[in-house]
Amino acid sequence: MALAGFRDLRFQTNLAGARALTDGAYDFRGISPTTPLSSLNLNWTEEQLPERIRTKHVHRLHPYLGKFVPQLVEVFLRKIEPQKVCDPFCGSGTTLVEANALDIPAVGADISEFNCLLSKVKTAHYNLPKLEKELKSVLAKTDSAVNSSKQFQTQSDYLNCWFGHKALRQLLAYRTLLKDYEYSDAMKVILSRAARSSRLTTHFDLDFPKKPQTTPYYCHKHRRICKPTDDAMAFLSRYTGDTIKRIKEFSKIQTRAPVRVICGDSSSLRFPEFDAIITSPPYFGLIDYHEQHRYAYELLGLNDKADLEIGSAKKGKSKPALQQYLSDISRVFKNARKSLSDDGTVVIVVHDKSELFEELASKSGYYLEAKLSRSVNRRTGMRKTDFLEDVLVWRPA
């Protein structure tokens, strides 16, 4: 499993071991432990690897800021061929999904209850006819309930502030029905996704809304005057169909390899034994992971552990905040080292422009075997981003 011959490699563009397909995807089945690292292409542009390919099947069950590219995970799973892989910052479950598709057992952990819910829903096995029947049933019952005289109210200031009366009534009606179904977790993801889209916000700023938009506005996305939505049923219906489609798509390649998701602090959890880590830790001072899904926490009654987030934006970028971030990250990797085999491999995808992780390796019980830089060319909403991302390969010291 050792990745011999690693060095600092930047902007490799050839595709040995991978074949470009006509739909913009890549076939990575030619990659194996004998594939030279220098031949791996990790620099996919938006044109080469469009969003619809990156977010194939269940990877797009719910929007999630900060997730890494599934194809990047696949490349290193094929290169390493681990017996069991771990992601101590599993987020939306990218590593877990890709590992399962390759019949590799996986374990992931995250402090966020919503992240763990999303990871479990993506990797669960379903009776597909029953899933489709239940998802369509709850949708029909919601439509019936909102047209009745039933009262649907909430004491949540957030929900009352960010949703129009009609949309909130629809969301709350859907929520009351979840207890009646086996696949309620999948329904929770649909409910959360619909809530995200039906908030009182502009169409072009679903990621970072600052305040409710209650009046018509000029929409930079549609280039016309738009009105904030007051109807969640259309989104509940659309995402029900999309969820069924995506879970069916993943079921065609899903294996019986076990996937375990642990909700907790990865710096103190007792992980099962594994021989590889593939992860993308939270970037310093960039995202508030709980806050980006605030609507889900409020609707689903999830426990808020935002104070335990590592490097969240609200903690700032001061020197003390940076030192705390590095200390917290180090504690996670030190703890994970207890369960990692002595010949194991750690692959870390991170935007490390200050080279913080190179020093972090030795402090956490590892040494840096290789550093690869990849160019990231992405467009999300109105934000065009071009930056360098590092792929670090650590080995146990």
pLDDT-above-90 percentage for the chain: 71
Pairing of strands 106-110, 366-380: unpaired
Question: Looking at residues 266-275, what average pLDDT do you find?
Answer: 97
The predicted pLDDT at position 323 comes to 94
The predicted pLDDT at position 385 comes to 61
Reading the block at residue 369, the tokens are: 């075997």
Do residues 243 and 61 make contact, with C-beta atoms less than 8 angstroms apart?
A: yes
Do residues 106 and 87 make contact, with C-beta atoms less than 8 angstroms apart?
A: yes
Contacts of 140 (CB under 8 A, 6+ apart): none
* Beta-carbon count within 10 A of 370 CB: 17
Do residues 66 and 287 make contact, with C-beta atoms less than 8 angstroms apart?
A: yes
Reading the block at residue 246, the tokens are: 């995506």
Answer whether residue 186 shows pLDDT above 90: yes
Residue 156: strand, helix, or coil = coil
pTM for this prediction: 0.91
Question: Looking at residues 282-308, what average pLDDT do you find?
Answer: 93
Question: What is the helix, strand, coil percentage profile of the chain, to 5?
Answer: 40, 20, 40
* DSSP one-letter code for 59: G
The predicted pLDDT at position 349 comes to 94
Q: What is the pLDDT of residues 219-242, one digit of tens each?
A: 988 889 999 999 999 999 999 999
The predicted pLDDT at position 246 comes to 98
Question: Looking at residues 163-168, what average pLDDT do you find?
Answer: 96
Identify any residues that bridge with 391 across adjacent strands, giving them in sequence order. 349, 372
In the block, tokens 């009366």 appear at 165
- Cα three-residue angle 350-355-357, rounded to 5 degrees: 60
Work out the pLDDT band at 19, boundaries 50, 70, 90. low
Instruction: Write down the H helix ranges in 124-264.
Output: 128-146, 157-162, 165-176, 184-197, 233-251
Work out the pLDDT band at 12, boundaries 50, 70, 90. very low
Identify any residues that bridge with 279 across adjacent strands, giving them in sequence order. 348
Question: Looking at residues 244-249, what average pLDDT do you find?
Answer: 98
* DSSP one-letter code for 106: E
CA–chain centroid gap for 29, Å, is 24
- Cα three-residue angle 373-376-381, rounded to 5 degrees: 160
Question: CA 184 to CA 203: how far, in whole Å?
Answer: 28
- State the chain's mean pLDDT as an integer: 89
Q: Which residue has the higher pLDDT, 213 or 373?
A: 213
The predicted pLDDT at position 204 comes to 83
303-319 in b/e burial notation, b at 16+ Cβ within 10 A?
eebbeebbbbbebeeee
Domain boundaries, the chain: 8-125+254-396, 128-250
pLDDT-above-70 percentage for the chain: 91
Q: What is the pLDDT of residues 24-74, one digit of tens each?
A: 457 888 899 998 877 777 887 777 778 888 889 999 999 998 888 999 999
Question: Looking at residues 254-259, what average pLDDT do you find?
Answer: 98
- Give the closest residue to 46 by CA, choosing from 58, 38, 55: 55
The predicted pLDDT at position 11 comes to 38
Question: Looking at residues 285-302, what average pLDDT do you find?
Answer: 93
Instruction: Write down the H helix ranges in the chain.
Output: 51-54, 70-80, 94-101, 113-123, 128-146, 157-162, 165-176, 184-197, 233-251, 294-300, 319-337, 356-363
Question: CA 269 to CA 333: how far, in whole Å?
Answer: 11
Q: What is the pLDDT of residues 307-359, one digit of tens each?
A: 999 999 999 999 999 999 999 999 999 999 999 999 999 999 998 777 888 88
The predicted pLDDT at position 15 comes to 42
The predicted pLDDT at position 25 comes to 56
CATH superfamily, with its number, for domain 8-125+254-396? Vaccinia Virus protein VP39 (3.40.50.150)
